Amino acid sequence: QVQLVESGGGVVQPGRSLRLSCAASGFTFSTYAMHWVRQAPGKGLEWVAFISYDETITYYADSVKGRFTISRDNSKNTLSLQVNSLRPEDTAVYYCARGPLYSYDSRGTFDIWGQGTMVTVSS
């Protein structure tokens, strides 16, 4: 079935880095735009980053611009998020989500979500 499975979360000290992954299955990953969305404990959803289906276009929320990098490997059906210079306010569950087919921009909804991976930034 169509599925997204995140991994790579953990507890990390402020200023350190982490790489999150999202394994896609059950659909042609290379034809869909993808996003990362996060949710701080007890808070709402916050969009983080977008990547086009062919990885040529990326967009970021202002809160992570310059620190986070979204990428994908269409040969391995994998989406990644490199998170650098982590801050306590980056503590959240990070979800990957599927965007529209053959999309070059951020327009459109997310129709498939993963179950999330928790990142805790603490000294």
Partner 1 sequence: QLVLTQSPSASASLGASVKLTCTLSSGHSSYAIAWHQQQPEKGPRYLMKVNSDGSHIKGDGIPDRFSGSTSGAERYLTISSLQSEDEADYYCQTWGTDIQVFGGGTKVTVL
In the bound state with partner 1, the residue whose beta carbon lies nearer, of 23 and 61, is: 61
Exactly one of 23, 27, 78, 113 binds partner 1 (CB under 8 A); which one? 113
How far is it, in rounded angstroms, from Cα 65 to Cα 3?
28
Q: How far apart are CA 97 and CA 33, in angstroms?
A: 9
Minimum distance from residue 91 beta carbon to partner 1 (Å): 17
Q: Of 7-15, 19-27, 63-71, 101-109, which segment contacts partner 1 by CB under 8 A?
A: 101-109
Neighbouring residues of 66: CB distance < 8 A, sequence distance ≥ 6: none
- Measured between alpha carbons, how far is 42 from 15 in angstroms, rounded to an integer? 23
CA distance 66 to 77: 25
- The candidate with the shortest Cα–Cα distance to 53, out of 25, 83, 77, 23, is 77
112 binds partner 1 (CB under 8 A): yes
118 binds partner 1 (CB under 8 A): no
CB of 74 to partner 1, least distance (A): 22
Site for partner 1 in 11-70 (CB under 8 A): 35, 37, 44-47, 50, 59, 61
Using CB under 8 A as the criterion, which residues of the chain lie in contact with partner 1 when the complex forms? 35, 37, 44-47, 50, 59, 61, 95, 97, 105-116
